[in-house]
Amino acid sequence: MSTIASRLLGPGVRLLRVALSQDCVLCGAETNDVPLCKPCRAELPTLARACPSCAMPNRLGETCGTCLRRAPPFDRTYAVWRYAYPVDRLVQALKFHGRLALAPFFADAFGPVIERPHAERVDILIPVPLHPERLAERGFNQAAEIARHLIARTRGHAMPLRIESRAARRVRRTLTQARLPFDQRASNVHGAFACSTDLKGARVAVVDDVMTTGATLAELANVLKRAGAASVENWVVARTID
């Protein structure tokens, strides 16, 4: 069978259980110690042409009307996939079930971003921080795990990066964004971040797993620019488009 759905051994069961490292987390095929086999990777839901500012798909890949009416505080957004099945399950498996082997897999997916022309490159990676209490509960920050593997992939590369995991801090514990109506998300994260690092002139890439309304990323971009960042772009694994 050729589709992901036909290869799954059960809805979500195989993905979220503890599996052998050589097994594809979607279909169970042997993968030589990578999380997904080539056929499953090929069927992940990619993004079509999208707005360069917010990564919302549109027919021409031009700046969307929303961003033209009110430009977001971040300068650009790169999203690898649509936040749809089975990417949503993969993200959740890392975030909520500790499938840390997916972090390097997600980092690898940013290869085209890392290979950009020199003039478009960034200097610093900053993972979206978790509040200390939530970090203690989860045991790790999924954005920081992805960023750490991204740094490893740029060593000896024409685009060397450094990670600043402590440049930004979440100073106020907020409600989980996914549980709130869209029109409440901006107020929920208002004042949630702080940055005491001097970022004067730095070109920053913020790493996160999912972008939905962009409220969290916008709030963080504002904070980083007040700290002196010359530009802030988002590198996200998946973009919600519905």
pLDDT at 163: 92
Tell me the fold of 48-239: Rossmann fold (3.40.50)
Reading the block at residue 58, the tokens are: 């549109």
Q: Calculate mean pLDDT across residues 134-158.
A: 89
Q: Please tell me the predicted confidence (pLDDT) of residue 19.
A: 41
Would you say the pTM of this structure is higher than 0.75?
yes
Average pLDDT, the chain: 87
Burial of 16 (0-12, 13-18, 19+ CB in 10 A): middle
Q: Binning pLDDT at 50, 70 and 90, where does residue 156 land?
A: low
Residues of the chain with CATH 3.40.50: 48-239
